[in-house]
Structure 1
C-alpha cells in the first residue's frame, strides 16, 4: 500500500488534532508494528500496540553517521519496524533526507547505507554547480537568507550532493517507513520566549507543534493573508531543508569564519581581494541605541562593499548586496508567516492561545532547533500523537544528558507529561550505554549516549575529540569506525528495549 499523497488545501489549519493524512498513516503503520512485534515474540492486541518514536539529536556529521549506523542495527534487530515516528534535528536530519530519497528504504537498508557512505566519501560538488544553485535560490525565491548560502556552500561540503527533490515528492514513494518529523525553531519565538517556538515539518504539514497551527508542507514559504494562500512559493527542496535544520549550532564568530572561508574557496580570488572581503563582512558596523541609525549604517556599509565587489567582477551587484546584508543583519531562514493577520481565526480558537506576535509579523525566521533543545522532543510529544515510548539516540557534543534533562525541564514548564530524569553524578563524565526514565501516566524514555563506557571504555574523551560537531567532512575510515560504535549501542541493548516494550504493553493491558 503506497503512502497517501498529501493534498494541498491552501488554508491554514488551527486545530488540536492530527492532520487527516497523518491519522491514516498511523492506522496503517500500527498494523505493521503489530506484525513486527510478533517477530519479537511479543503478543498483543491491536489496541495494545505502543506508539514508539525514535528521536535523533543533532551533532553535525557525527549525528548523520551515528544515526545511519543505529538504524542499520535496529533493522537487523527487528526493532525498526516497531517505530511509528522518526524525528530529528540538525545533523540527524541530513541522514533522514538521504534515507527518504530511496523508496521504502527500511526494506533494503544495507544497500542504501552503502550508497550513502559511497557518496559521503566521494568527490565534492563542482564549483559550477554551486554557482548555478546559488543563483537559482536567489532568483527563484521571495526571500534569500544565509540559509540559502549555507545550503550551497556548507551543506554540500558534508552531504556531497544538491538534492532538489521535495519532502512531499520523497514521501509519495514511501509505504513501509516511519513518518519523518524534521524540527526547527522560530527564532523570534525563541528570543521573545513565546510559548511555542517549536516548528515541525512533516510530509503532510509544517507548523507550530504546541500551538497547533499548520499549513500543507508544500505551502510552507508561500504567502498567506488571513488564513488563505495569497501567493504560492515553490516547495523548498531537500538541500534547503537540511540547511534550515542544520545551521547555526556553532557560535556566530565561528560560522562567519566558515562562511568567509567557503566564499573564498568558491570565488578563488587573490589574497588582496579576499582581505578586503574579510573586512567588509566581519567588522565595521557600529552598534547604537538608535535603531534607525544602525540600519542606515548597515545599509551604507553594504552598498559600499557591493560597489567595490562589482568593480572587480566577483558577483552581480544585487546579489552581492543581498549576501552582505544577510551576513551583517544575520538573517537565517526567513519565510512568510502563514499566520499573518489571522485575527478572526484567533478569536474562534482562543483556547489554543496563538501568540499575538505570530499574528502580527509578515515574516518569521527559522533556524537549527539545537539552539534551544538538541533533540525533537517537543514536536513528538504533541498530545495527539499519544507517544508511549521514546528511544532517544543522543549524538550531542558535551554533556551526554543535556537533551533529556532540558526536555524534562521544558515539559514541566509547559505541563507536558514527561518522566523525572535523575542522572547518577558519577555518570556525567562516564555515561553508560542505556538509561530508562519512566513514571505514572508519562511516556517511557530510553536514552542512549553515543560514546559511553561500554563501547569506548576509558577513551570516551578521545572519541569525542576525534568526532567534533564542527569539523571537516569525515574520511571513509572515520565513517566506518563511527558506524560500528553506533551499532554496538543497539546490539548490546536489544533485549532491554524489548523488555521496555513488553512493560508498556502490560501497562496498556492492565488499564482495560
Structure 2
C-alpha cells in the first residue's frame, strides 16, 4: 500500500510484536488458507490455521526462474493459497519484485508467468535508459555506492526491466497474495560477528529480525538520531532493493570493465542539460584553468586499466608511468604515489594508489561536475568496496535491547544475505509469526544442504526452536527432491534442492554447470527448461506436501 494509505511513524520501534497492519493482513489471509485447505479435506478453524512460509534461496537468475517455476506448479496444484508468507533473498527477490508489480498475481499466475517469460526472452534495457537511471541515483541520494551501479547497469540486464515502484506502492492491504519479505544482511555485523546481521524488509516495515528493531519501510534509509527521524530520504525503489538483495553476485573485475567501457561512451554522449553538446565539450569544473578533458579521461582510463591489470596479474609498469606522467603534466610537479618498495599487487597499496588518484581529481583540481565527479566516486567505491550504504536508523539509540554494535555508526552497509546464509529463515522464525511449516526451495550453486544445516546450527546457538538436520552421507552428492525435518516445539521444515536425482537423473552435474550463477543472462530455451525442472520438484511431491500440511494442521 502506498504511504498515503496508512499512518506512518517517524519513530523507531523496539518491539518483537508484529506490525499491526501485518497482523490484520495475516488474519484476512487465513480465511483464504481455510478455503484452500478445505478443498483437500483438511478442515481447521480460522484460529487454528497452520502458518506456512515459503522460502526462496539465492542463486541469481537460476533462483529467479526456479522460484517462478515452483510457484507456478503450486498454483496449478491449488496449493499457492495456503501460503501466508513468501520470503526471499538474492535472486529469488528478482522474481518476487516482478510478481508483486501485478496486483493479485497469485490468482492469475498462468497469465503473469507468460508475461514474465516473454520479458526475460526480450531485449535488455537500453544503455541510455540504464545510464539515465544511474544518474538519478547519483543525484538523488545522500550516499552513492556500488549498489547503484549494480542496480542500473547489471540487474536490469538480468531482469529486463526498470522497476521504479517503491515497495509501499507495490502493496495493497486487500491483496490476495502471500505477505512478501525481502532479506539482506548488515555487513558490519557479519564481518565482526556481533550485533544482529539479519535485516528484513516488508511492505510495512524494515529492520533487524533478531533484535526486534524496526522503522516504517518508507523511512528505511532516512536519517535518525536517538530513535527519531531527523532528515527524510525518499524510499528507495524496487530496482535498488533487488540490487541490495543480490550484491553477492557483484564481481569486482566485471565492474572495473564496465567503468572502462563507460568512459568512451560518456565522451560521445550528448548533454541533456543546457545547449546541445557532447559531454566531452563541457567544462569539467568551475575553474577556467581546469586541465584539458582528454588528459583527465586518459588518466582515469589508465587508473581503470591499472586495477584490471592487478586483478589479471599482468604488468603495471607502463600504466604507472603513464599515470605519473599525466599527473605531472597537469600540476607541473611529480606526484608522490609510491615509495621505493611499493608493490601494487598488495591490496592495501593498490587502495592507497587509487585513493591518491581520486583525491587528485576531487581535491586538487576540483573535478566534481557530472559525469567526472560520478566516475571518480565509482572508482572510490570500488576501491573501498562500498555497497548498500544508508543511514543507520539505530544511530545513538539508548536502548539496552539494541546491541551496541548497531548503535555506533552513522551509516550501515547492507548486502546480499547469500554472503552469510543463502536463505531467509530468520525472518519467518520470528516467534510472533508463529510459523508451523517452512517450505524451503533451495537454488544454491554449491552444497544443496548448506542453508538448512547452517540455519539449524545458528538456531541452536541462539536458542531458536528448529528441528535437527541430519543428511544421509550418500545424499550429499546425489540429493533427493524432498526432505522433511521435524523437532519438538519447532516448525516442520521441508527442504527441496533444485537439481536432484529425481528431476535430473544422473545428470545433476551437467544441470549445475549449465545453470551456474555466472552464466548470465539465460537464453529463452534455458529459461523454459529451468522453469520445467524446478516445477517438477513441486508436481512430483504434491501428495507429500499435503501430508505435511495435514500433519501440522492436526497438531494445532
**TM-score over 0.5 (shorter chain):** yes
1:291-440 residue pairs with structure 2 within 5 A? Answer: 298-304=354-360, 316-343=371-398, 346=399, 350=400, 353-440=401-488
SS in 1 for 2:439: strand
2:180 — aligned with what? 180
1:261 paired residue number: 257
Structure 1 residue 279 corresponds to structure 2 residue 306: yes
SS of the equivalent of 1:456 reads: coil
How far off is 1:317 after superposition?
2.5
Aligned partner of 2:332 in structure 1 is: none
Which residue pairs with 1:104 in the alignment? 104
**1:85-127 residue CA offsets vs partner (Å, 9 max, x unmatched):** 0000000000000000001000110111111111111111111
Counterparts of 2:461 and 2:343, CA distance in 1 = 35
How far, CA to CA, are the matches of 1:473 and 1:434 in structure 2? 28
Q: In 2, are the aligned partners of 1:147 and 1:247 still within 8 Å (CA)?
A: yes
CA deviations 1:64-96 (Å, max 9, x no partner) are: 000000000001111110000000000000000
Q: CA deviation at 1:134?
A: 0.8
CA distance in 1 between counterparts of 2:309 and 2:433 reads: 45
What SS does structure 2 have at the residue aligned with 1:185?
strand
Whether the 8 Å contact between 1:309 and 1:315 is mirrored in structure 2 is no
> 1:249: how far off?
4.0
Match of 2:314 in 1: none
Q: For the structure 1 residues 162 and 308, does the alpha-carbon distance in structure 2 shift closer, same or farther, using more than 3 Å as the test?
A: farther
Larger Cα-atom Rg: 2
Aligned to 2:192: 192
Per the TM alignment, residue 128 of structure 1 is displaced from its structure 2 partner at its CA by 1.2
Structure 2 residue matching 1:426: 3-state secondary structure: helix
Query: Following TM superposition, by how much is the alpha carbon of 1:426 offset from its aligned partner in structure 2, in angstroms?
Result: 0.3
Any unmatched runs of 5+ in structure 2?
268-296, 311-319, 321-336
1:56 matched residue in structure 2: 56
Deviation at 1:309, TM superposition (A): 12
Q: Secondary structure at the match of 1:455?
A: coil
8 Å contact 2:498–2:537 — kept in the other structure?
Answer: yes
The alpha carbon displacement at 1:212 in A equals 0.3
Question: Which structure 1 residue ranges, 4+ long, deviate > 6 Å from structure 2?
Answer: 1-4, 270-273, 284-288, 292-296, 305-311
Moved more, 298-307 or 373-382: 298-307
Alpha-carbon deviations, 1:323-380, whole Å to 9, x = none?
111000000000000011111xx0xxx3xx3111211210000000000000000111
Bigger mean CA offset, 45-54 vs 266-275: 266-275
Cα shift at 1:505: 1.6
Q: Is the 8 A contact 1:207 1:214 kept in 2?
A: yes
Q: What residue ranges of structure 1 are gaps of 5+ in the alignment?
A: none
Change (3 A) 1:455 1:296: closer
Query: What CA deviation, in whole Å up to 9, does each residue of 1:460-487 have, x standing for no partner?
Result: 0000000001222001111000000011
TM-score, normalised with respect to structure 2 = 0.84
Q: How many angstroms does 1:262 deviate by?
A: 2.8
Give the SS at the match of 1:445: strand
Normalising by structure 1, what TM-score? 0.91
How many equivalent pairs are there?
A: 494
